[in-house]
Amino acid sequence: MKLRDEKKIGLALGGGAVLGAAHIGVLRSLEELEIPIHAIAGTSIGAFVAAFYAFGKNWEEIKKIAIELDWLDISKMSLSKFGLLSNEKICERTKEILGDVDFENAEIPLSMISCDISTGEKVILNKGDVANAVMASTCIPAVFVPVETDDRMLVDGGIIENVPVSSLKKMNLDVIIGVDLNAQHTYKTPNNILDVVLNTIDITLIHATKLQTKEADILITPDLSDFNLIDTDQVEDLIEKGYKDSLSVLKEALEP
């Protein structure tokens, strides 16, 4: 499907831990090509990036946020029986940057995907506190303590819909652009327990995601085979790779 000026366009940003920095490169391509986004959805790290874009941060501002972010900034030890760590700090960091904002305040309609680990239900977060929703959508099961809200125990939405096309399908949009960070990703021998957990989740999801992303009109699948899921030193290279790989796809979509 081709992009036109009159089209209403939605953007679905998928999960992928540190690979999510590639989303910032996609945003750079969209801005350079003057492709407007009328609604945005995110899962896991995609929710983190989507939140800033929905509240008016451009790709360069989000790049600065990502470069300054460290694993220690978003996690702390937990004594809970439900997880080794807490990701409350990602909630705090989001609030530091955006303030105490609700979804209703967003410049671009925003939604995020989480999963109720008690029932297995997909939960679309599009109302109330944005920072708390980011914390829920990025809450890796068994690593982070589930986020308890509205009598639900919420965890990373990636385990149920890693590229959140479905929430955009409910809106009056003409074109949905999906960004799948894992489609071309290869897995290396784990070095620690976090590598094991992240690889397990991603390998489990890869086939389901292929089916889900068929609902996208345009699919961007940057080749991130040379990158791992947790090394934050890769951020600038990931942004550049996301930019280059998305630019060609989007340019083709703009052709008459």
Residues catalogued as catalytic: 44, 156
Residue type, 3: L
Rounded distance between C-alpha atoms, residue 254 and residue 256, angstroms: 6
User: Do the Cβ atoms of 185 and 211 come closer than 8 Å?
Assistant: no
- Note whether 223 and 184 are within 8 A (CB): yes
Helix (H) or strand (E) holding 228: none
Which of 87, 104, 183, 185 is CA-nearest to residue 138? 87
Sequence-ordered list of residues with C-beta below 8 angstroms from that of 16, at least 6 positions apart, any chain:
22, 44, 45, 46, 162, 181, 182, 185, 202, 224, 229
Nearest 5 degrees, angle CA 10-CA 13-CA 16? 170
Q: Which of 69, 58, 8 is nearest to 35 (CA)?
A: 8
CA-only gyration radius of the chain, Å? 17
How does DSSP assign 23-37, residue by residue?
Answer: HHHHHHHHHHTT---
Query: What's the rounded Cα separation, in Å, for the pair 178 and 23?
Result: 11
Token representation of residue 187: 């897995």
